Structure 1
Amino acid sequence: MTTRRVLIIDDEYDIRAVAELSLKAVGGWQVSTAASGSEGVAKAASEQPDVILLDVMMPDMDGIATFQALQANSATKSIPVILLTAKTQAAEQRRFAELGVRAIITKPFKAMKLPAQIAAALD
């Protein structure tokens, strides 16, 4: 079985570090990270991960703008995107779901369960 590759795009270092550690240690994933939407879009195009874990609230280019940029690029539009968000209101969750993302994981997430949540969203 090939190792799955995930790209974590989040402006918060602590979130990236916890998610990366969990995905590597518990899930056996190959992980790369980006600290901004623009860096994430560039890495997604060059690395072609199996899935992108994308924070919604980021400065400059937020998660929605990042998702739209990924969708507009033929090299990245087929990569599944899972939103990572603290926004838990039903209306916001519906809006995110209508975008066409694969899944939504709410913050704070349980680090030990993160690999299983991502795998479930993909399978």
Structure 2
Amino acid sequence: MTRTVLVVDDDPDVREVLGLALSVVPDWRIETASDGREAVRRCGHGGVDAVVLDVEMPGYDGRRTLRELEAANAALPVVLLTAAADTAGLLDLGALAVLAKPFDPLSIGLTLARLLRWDA
């Protein structure tokens, strides 16, 4: 079963590295979005099984994006990604987990599979 993961980050380098790191996981299709507004639009069309969402972005930041995604589809698992040292309260927003930047590209796929409870 192919699953689609939407990677949302305003930094094109992070999108590329994370996209490549996750693309090696069997049966995962990786899509990317450069901001929260695009993520909400893309998730609204269906076909996204999980979202990896940067917290700090201009405009629709991760908090606002998460609220809008939950309002549209409460069952969609969202994993937050942040470079902030203080992550207190982020799980209270309703995300499945919070992962730190920088991340290990060699293990992030297995980490996400474990968090999502998907076989990798």
Structure 2 length-normalised TM:
0.91
The alignment partner of 1:47 has SS state of coil
> Which among 82, 88, 94 is matched to residue 100 of structure 1?
94
Give the C-alpha shift of residue 53 in structure 1. 0.2
Deviation string, structure 1 residues 74-108 (Cα, Å, up to 9, x no partner): xx22100000001122xxx2311111110111000
The alignment partner of 2:2 has SS state of coil
Higher helix share: 1
Identity %: 36
CA distance in 2, matches of 1:18, 1:107: 12
2:17 maps to what in 1?
Answer: 18
Deviation string, structure 1 residues 60-87 (Cα, Å, up to 9, x no partner): 11000000011111xx221000000011
Letter in 1 for 2:82: T
Letter in 2 for 1:108: P
> Which among 111, 117, 120 is matched to residue 111 of structure 2?
117
Whether contact under 8 Å (1:54, 1:81) holds in the other structure is yes
Say if 2:78 is the partner of 1:81: yes
CA distance in 2, matches of 1:35, 1:77: 22
CA distance in 2, matches of 1:60, 1:36: 8
CA distance in 1, matches of 2:50, 2:5: 5
CA distance in 2, matches of 1:105, 1:63: 13
Letter in 2 for 1:61: Y
1:39 maps to what in 2?
Answer: 38
The alignment partner of 2:88 has SS state of helix
Give the C-alpha shift of residue 5 in structure 1. 1.2
Whether contact under 8 Å (1:48, 1:79) holds in the other structure is no
Can you give the 5+ residue segments of structure 2 that lack an aligned partner in the other structure? none
Letter in 2 for 1:8: V
Letter in 2 for 1:63: G
Can you give the 5+ residue segments of structure 1 that lack an aligned partner in the other structure? none
Letter in 2 for 1:40: A
